[in-house]
Amino acid sequence: MIIPVHGFINMMNNPLKFRMFLFSRLPSAFFSGLRIQEIDETRCVVSVPYKWFSKNPFRSTYFACLAMAAEMSTGVQAMMYVYRRIPPISMLVVRMEANYFKKAVGVTNFASEGGHLIKEAINNAIGSGEAQKIVIKSTGTSESGELIAEFFITWSFKVKK
């Protein structure tokens, strides 16, 4: 079966469809201002701004909003490979670890380059019939390229029964 990744990528790159998706499925991401900056089969970049809805009392982006953007940079890649998949695949975050290096005081971009690992894990889940867990790294940087945070998101994939 051909996986419709390009159709999914086109949907995520359509600003109106993406915002409707966020508003209906992830309202906190919608109100926090998360945006997909770049997406293809192997890489996804998601941005989160420093603004009223995403700020904390310490004049920086709230850690939960940073985590949301990091998770989305990996989750959109996972969704791309389970989208309209036969057999259907369930996906779930089972663990998250984070390291913070600098205050996020502007737009923070989270980049994940684990698309090929996600595709392989899904194929292994289908082939083995067993759940597959993988860890995908998402790195957050400021607009000037300074390292803000890194997240390690553990995903589990298994064939739905």
Domain ranges of the chain: 5-159
Rounded mean pLDDT of 19-47? 94
Kindly provide the residue ranges of all beta strands, DSSP E only, lying in 13-88, ordered along the sequence.
35-39, 44-48
**pLDDT score at 2:** 46
Listed residue (148, 69, 133, 61) closest to 95, CA to CA: 133
Report whether CATH 3.10.129.10 matches the domain 5-159.
yes
Over the range 42-56, which residues count as b (16 or more CB within 10 Å of their CB) and which as e? eebbbbbbbeeebbe
Tokens for 79, please give them: 């969704």
**Residue 110: count of CB within 10 angstroms of its CB:** 28
In terms of pTM, does the model score above 0.85? yes
pLDDT, one tens digit per residue, over 65-83 is 999 999 999 999 999 999 8
DSSP three-state, residue 40: coil
